[in-house]
Amino acid sequence: MKNLTALVTGASRGIGKGIVLTLAKQGYNIIAIARNPNGLRLLKEEIEKNYPVQCLAFSLDIGDLKDQEVWFSNHFPALPEIDLLVNNAGIAPDKRSDILECSIESYDKVLNTNLKGVFFFTQKIAQRMVASIQKDIKKDYKPRIIFITSISAITASPNRAEYCISKAGLSMTSQLYAVRLAEYNIPVFEIRPGIIMTDMTEPVRSKYDALIQQGLLLQKRWGTPEDVANCVKSIAEGNFDYATGSVFEISGGFSILRL
């Protein structure tokens, strides 16, 4: 069994669950984070029933810095070294509304969860990764960090401006950590999913069904959590260690300009 641990946020459903199951299959021990304890309990049961790995699950709201503070002081010190951090937790606005009507509440909620919370969460984990490397705490320790952003980082949807802004900011966050952590040989990557079939896209399923059929994507199908998880797996295997700061778009060819 590998002595490797992956921490994945937003692990209980959708893309995060796909990532966690793929990594568990690869022999990673899992630290799973989400808000709903029931989803986490089911995930832990599924992992430990099917794979010979350990799954520690924590209920934590990434968008709540006070909640994070409590988690970092109560739980983090006892956890094993983190070999792979996957910042996946994220939310869409509760309701899509035009940029001219976007409320302060929705803006704050989405930005706190998708950007501010992830920025500070990563900061604490990165500090420990650096300290562990400097103190040579774990043999052959080679941590990596992944940010799950979105094609919305580079695609303007004025009916969910706060989401697009959060993902554009997260894309820069990935670049910034790539620059800062390079001297410690910690590679940082951004994965930009396209249109992926999960709970998040359930409310817009028929709209995207039609757009996909009309040729929005080069590959005429919805993406799956496994499509994203396969990219994470390849990064985790070290295949892109000389490509820190790279952006992987998993979108069926969404962003190729065509005429």
Ligand X SMILES: NC(=O)c1ccc[n+]([C@@H]2O[C@H](COP(=O)([O-])OP(=O)(O)OC[C@H]3O[C@@H](n4cnc5c(N)ncnc54)[C@H](OP(=O)(O)O)[C@@H]3O)[C@@H](O)[C@H]2O)c1
Binding site for ligand X (CB under 6 A): 9-16, 33-36, 39, 60-63, 88-91, 113, 148, 150, 193, 195-196, 198-201
Asked if 252 contacts 196 with a C-beta cutoff of 8 angstroms, the reply is no
Q: Which of 82, 58, 103 is nearest to 236 (CA)?
A: 82
Residues 78 and 2: their CA atoms lie apart, in Å, by 19
Q: Whose Cβ is closer to ligand X: residue 150's or residue 173's?
A: 150
Q: In the bound complex, what is the minimum distance in angstroms from residue 45's beta carbon to ligand X?
A: 15
Q: Taking Cα atoms as reference points, which of 117, 148, 130, 208 lies closest to residue 14?
A: 148
Of 28, 51, 163, 177, catalytic: 163
Whether 177 is a known active-site residue: answer no
DSSP 235: H
Distance of CA 25 to the CA centre of its chain: 18
Query: Which residues is 134 bridged to in the sheet?
Result: none
**Complex with ligand X: residue 133 or 150, whichever CB lies closer:** 150
Q: Compare residues 10 and 252 and give the one whose CB is closer to ligand X.
A: 10
Q: Which SS3 state, helix, strand or coil, does residue 213 take?
A: helix
Closer residue to ligand X (CB): 29 or 149: 149
CB of 90 to ligand X, least distance (A): 2
* 145 close to 85: Cβ distance less than 8 angstroms: yes
Provide, rounded to whole angstroms, the least separation between the CB of residue 91 and ligand X. Answer: 5
C-alpha–C-alpha distance, residues 113 and 121, integer Å: 11
What's the min distance (Å) between Cβ of 141 and ligand X? 26
Taking the complex as a whole, the smallest distance from the CB of residue 148 to ligand X amounts, in Å, to 5
CB of 153 to ligand X, least distance (A): 9
Between 183 and 202, whose beta carbon lies closer to ligand X? 202
What 3-state DSSP class applies to 171?
Answer: helix
- For 106-170, the DSSP string reads HHHHHHIIIIIHHHHHHHHHHHHHHHHHHTT-STT---EEEEE--GGGSS--TTSHHHHHHHHHH
Q: Which lies closer to ligand X via its Cβ, residue 5 or residue 68?
A: 68
Say how far apart CA 198 and CA 252 lie, in whole Å: 16
Q: Which residues are catalytic?
A: 163
